[in-house]
Amino acid sequence: MGKYGVQNPISAGQYLASYDSTAINNTDWNTLTSNDFYDVSSGIQLEAGLKIAFLSVYSNNSSSLSYIKLRAAGGAGDPIGNTAGVIPVAKSFQVDVQALADSSTTSISYKKASSSDQFIIICGFNTL
């Protein structure tokens, strides 16, 4: 909230991009930054260091949870417990634009439930 009780402008991103992790055949934590994504309008790879403005993830696994976190993974075997600051994903999850409005998140991590899962990540990115 701004100084005068007025909400600061919110941006859903200057770039819209998606990442299909289906070909990543592991259940380790994997870290992504903006240069792992391609702009859906131009097809051009995004530059490194862009700020994540919103995030949506979709999994085809209906019986087990996948996980995401709004930071880089510390390692492939990072914990998934409630106290680890991770978000369990059952089919889909979206982070609201307002939740990331004051964040400087530039990387995310995901852990698929099964190595063969279809797992899609859609992000909006802003320059810092």
Specify the number of domains making up the chain.
Answer: 1
Q: Is residue 34 part of a domain?
A: yes
CATH number for the domain including 90? Answer: 2.60.120
**What pLDDT sits at residue 84?**
94
pLDDT of residue 16: 94
In a domain? residue 99: yes
> 3 lies in a domain?
no
Residue 76: is its pLDDT beyond 70?
yes
Tell me which residue range forms the domain holding 98: 15-75+83-126
What's residue 24's pLDDT?
A: 95
Q: According to the model, what pLDDT value does residue 8 have?
A: 64
Residue 22 near residue 117, CB atoms below 8 Å: yes
CA angle 100, 101, 102 (to 5 degrees): 95
44: exposed, middle or buried (Cβ count in 10 Å: 0-12, 13-18, 19+): exposed
d(CA 54, CA 41): 17
The count of other CB atoms within 10 Å of the CB of residue 115 is: 10
